[in-house]
A and B are shown apart, each in its own frame.
Chain A
Amino acid sequence: MLQTITKLASLKNFYFFCGKLLPWFAWPTLILMVVGLYWGLVEAPADYQQKDSYRIIFIHVPAAWMSLFVYMVMATSAAASMIWKTKASEVVANSCAPIGAAFTFLALATGSLWGKPMWGTWWEWDARLTSELVLLFLYLGYMALQSAFEDKRTAARATSILAIVGVVNIPIIHYSVEWWFTLHQGPTVQLLKNKQAMDTSMLIPLLIMATAFKFYYVTVLLMRSRNEILERESHSKWVQEEKERL
């Protein structure tokens, strides 16, 4: 077990390992995405109150779920690279940040698009919106710190500390915003309060889309990781050989 892990931790092995995994995630992503989108956007019935505009949840909700999930993956691999100093986990953590930022941005943008016809405003200082926005800044800070260093390994040491500090802070930020909101005034808008009462005809496509987003995330993560490995090891012999092969 330990041997396989240490073997994987070498960038070259990790590169080929990612390459082998890639089709197992890329094809399901495509299939799930097509099925989920068709089901959600065409087959699922319209909401009795929100009509067709509710359909944005098939993008919005999975993106919002992923935004936190990606941060957890990032922080876990950051912790791994701090403890075992493995290069592979550094690569994974680095590759997570832009993807997570993109998911967070997507969740905010789709929420804003939905908010305009539903709440009558592009932006509301709602607890969830605010903590999602802060999460976006955490991602951007991570990326900025990472790009500020020239040496990749020094950058990884700094960013992994930041990711771990962020993970301690995410629940604090989330609850402080939530309590701030509840202390401030009664909730004027309830985001999907009838979620438990969601009909299966809507729930199934939502879950399919959530799975599709997970697979999409892993696909992009593998691709980004491979890319970063090639960049880091660009001087080594196997990368040159790989370049010629491609």
Chain B
Amino acid sequence: MINNSQHALKTQLWRDFTLAARNKSEWMNPLLFFVFAAILFPLGIGPDTTILKQIAPGIIWVVALLAALLSLDSMFRSDYEDGSLEQLTLSPYPFAALVFTKVSVHWLLTGLPLILLAPLLATFFHLDGDATLILMQTLLLGTPVLSLVGAIGSALTVGLKRGSMLISLLVLPLYVPVLIFGANAVSASTAGLDISGHMMLIASLLALSITLAPLATAAALRASIG
């Protein structure tokens, strides 16, 4: 049974990657949005290096959050529409684990590239090497939380025709802690403060959402399918 489950999860993973490879715009667009939206801030505020340096962590984090939000609507949408989600709920394998696989693929396609793009944005905002490294670390710990918590909102609204506006209303309040610790860790490190506390708090948020969010997402999907 365990072997079968593993096989099912692997198949699920492979299927989702194949789908993503065939439908690139779905996960590419949020990434482009991430870069473009961040570029708008220096244009709007002006090229003052000290100001840009100061606001960079907050802006990059907020934009990462919005990019994650943009990609949420498509997380379960197509699977819901073609009925494969319903098949998954009927399968003998643990539904929460299958959901977790889907969320992981979502993060690998939308969260991980954000981390890889972060140095580019850090250059635009004149962040130094150390701060960039910290920024990438906070994103590495924080963006999975965005995907996992966002999946709950996505699952709750998947049955609705106009769910995408609603997702942001549901999910944004839940993103507040990640944003606070993520952005402030970078600011604190540039101010020369110890950030181990911040990092541990984000890590604990991650641990909490890995364990609980897939269960809530699975319940929400079952409720949406009805």
Q: Once the chains are docked, how many angstroms separate the CA of A177 from the CA of B198?
A: 13
Segment at the interface with A among B69-77, B102-110, B164-172: B164-172
Instruction: Specify the chain B residue showing the minimal Cβ separation from A174.
Output: B177
**A145 sits at the interface (CB 8 A):** yes
Task: Classify the interface of chain B: helix, strand, loop or mixed.
Answer: helix
For A144, the chain B residues whose CB sits under 8 A away are 166, 169-170
Segment at the interface with B among A98-106, A159-167, A237-245: A159-167
Q: Once the chains are docked, how many angstroms separate the CA of A173 from the CA of B205?
A: 11
Interface residues of chain B, those whose CB is within 8 Å of chain A, are 152, 156-157, 159-160, 162-163, 166, 169-170, 172-174, 176-177, 180-181, 184, 188, 197-198, 201, 205, 208, 212, 216, 219-220, 223-224, 226
Q: A154-B226, A164-B216, A173-B176 are in contact. Are A145 and B184 (CB under 8 A)?
A: no
B166 touches A148 (CB 8 A): yes
Most chain A beta-carbon contacts within 10 A, residue among B160, B177, B184, B205? B177
Most chain B beta-carbon contacts within 10 A, residue among A149, A165, A166, A183? A165
A176 touches B156 (CB 8 A): no
Task: From the candidates B157, B162, B176, name the one contacting A176 in the complex (CB within 8 A).
Answer: B176
**A204 sits at the interface (CB 8 A):** no
Instruction: Specify the chain A residue showing the minimal Cβ separation from B178.
Output: A176
For B174, the chain A residues whose CB sits under 8 A away are 165-166, 169, 173
Most chain A beta-carbon contacts within 10 A, residue among B159, B169, B173? B173
Q: Once the chains are docked, how many angstroms separate the CA of A165 from the CA of B172?
A: 13
Flag A118-140 by CB within 8 Å of B: 1 or 0 each.
00000000000000001001101
Instruction: Specify the chain B residue showing the minimal Cβ separation from A131.
Output: B176
A145 touches B170 (CB 8 A): yes
For B160, the chain A residues whose CB sits under 8 A away are 148-149
Within 8 A of B (CB), among A175-233: 176-177, 179-180, 183-184
For A138, the chain B residues whose CB sits under 8 A away are 173
Most chain A beta-carbon contacts within 10 A, residue among B156, B157, B198, B201? B156
B169 touches A172 (CB 8 A): no
Q: Once the chains are docked, how many angstroms separate the CA of A141 from the CA of B166?
A: 8
For B170, the chain A residues whose CB sits under 8 A away are 141, 144-145, 162
B156 touches A158 (CB 8 A): yes
A168 touches B212 (CB 8 A): yes
Nearest 9 CB-CB pairings of A with B: A176-B177, A157-B223, A137-B173, A180-B180, A141-B170, A141-B169, A134-B173, A161-B220, A158-B156
